[in-house]
Amino acid sequence: GDLIMKTIDKNTVAQDEIQIRQLTKKWADVWSPKDKTFTGEGFEKIFATGENEILVFDNFGDSVVVLRSLQEYLNTWVPVMQNFSYWEIEIEDNLEISVDGDLAVTTFSWVGGGKSKDGEDVKVRQYGTHTWKRLNHEWRLVHEHLTVG
């Protein structure tokens, strides 16, 4: 019986990893409006919302932004992103996923950037850690920590 349980566990973890990989890709896609306006639309299917509060640490300029809800996240980033006429990021080839029951952690870096409305080229690389939690049978992002590298 033990072997069967182990196999089932392995399959579940594999499925979880696939889902989290897809959600991470979707996160990067939402962060890549290209020449469209950044709205953050789609984050509501990625981040935990409502009573499952999120916690985000992001270093931006010289300060660390601490955000506690998806609404705060959008209120912070939508105005910032209005300064860009083009923006696109991609996850580098170093996405690591660890799943343990209903919690998972991903580490990664992304590269990208774009063009400011003043015509300036902007290049950025950030290192990220995401903590995911299974809520109502769906993986949701509950913690994000990004730091410029």
Q: What is the DSSP string of 110-134?
A: EEEEEEETTS-EEEEEEEEEEEEEE
Tens of pLDDT, residue by residue over 33-82, are: 999 999 999 999 999 988 767 999 988 777 888 999 999 999 999 999 99
Q: Are 148 and 124 in contact (CB under 8 A)?
A: yes
pLDDT at 2: 78
pLDDT at 18 over 90: yes
Entry pTM: 0.91
